[in-house]
A = this chain, B = another copy of it.
Amino acid sequence: MSAQPLLSPEELEAKLRQTGAELYHHRHRFHRRLHTGKCTYTEVQAWALNRYYYQAMIPIKDATILTRMADSEDRRQWRKRIEDHDGTGNGDGGIERWLKLTDSLGFPRDYVISTRGILPGTRFAVEAYTEFCRTRSLLQAVASSLTELFSPAIISERVTGMLAHYDFVSKDTLAYFSKRPVQAKRDSDFALDYVKKHAKTRAEQNSVVEALEFKCSVLWAQLDALWSAYVDGAIPPGAWVPGTHTLHDRGRAA
């Protein structure tokens, strides 16, 4: 087997974009269902409840990466991710905006924040992500954030699709997504520059692509678990049961 040649930064970027085109969760059947109005009210509830855990763990994941960055300027840039999610005070930040969505779907905040009702598959996937960022190389930890290269497109499709198809969501309840594309663009520009600059061998370049593949599998596995439990109806013991733990249940699309 001959050694693989070093890729140019542009070739590495092309390989990363190709990886996303093939593996990012915009291709998952749950998202097609969600964006085309086929989801029931309870499926949207389950999606929002489970994804809360992913949102809530993002600042923990980013703080884990911060602990590993030796360079002040890198940390300054990375810190913005934590500020975006945690906000600058009560009632601000991405997590808070996600809770506005779960509010609108009838969940009490303490139930959502407790994460008592999430699927084990959600928990294990999200924790694998944090663990990856703690134990792999810093280069791979940074690279695993590169799914954000692809999030503006899926968010645009999601917001348009959900507003068109579900009367129980509004621009207000989807406020989380209105902020994300600009933030994601800024963050993925930084991360893409970082990996293009710091991956100096082909082995390191391959490790960057592998980190993105891993992260795509983290997102994909969450939707697999969601489909199995709430579309296929095989809810694992202990996970949220539709019709419970809600303050109100409009169920217009159910």
**Which chain A residues have a beta carbon within 8 Å of chain B's beta carbons?**
22-23, 29, 119-121, 123-125, 127-128, 131, 213, 216-218, 220-221, 224-225, 227-229, 232, 234, 236-238
Contact = CB atoms under 8 A, between A and B. Distances in A.
B131 A127 contact: yes
Nearest to A216: B237
Nearest to A24: B237
Given A124-B124, A124-B128, A127-B128, A224 B234 contact: yes
A90 B128 CA distance: 32
Nearest to A132: B127
A188 B128 CA distance: 28
For A29, A225, A234, the residue with the greatest tally of chain B CB atoms inside 10 Å of its CB is A234
29 contacts: A22-B237, A29-B234, A119-B221, A120-B218, A120-B220, A121-B124, A121-B221, A121-B225, A123-B128, A124-B124, A124-B125, A124-B127, A124-B128, A124-B221, A127-B131, A128-B128, A213-B238, A217-B236, A217-B237, A217-B238, A220-B236, A221-B225, A221-B236, A224-B228, A224-B229, A224-B234, A224-B236, A225-B228, A227-B228
A134 to B, nearest CB: 10
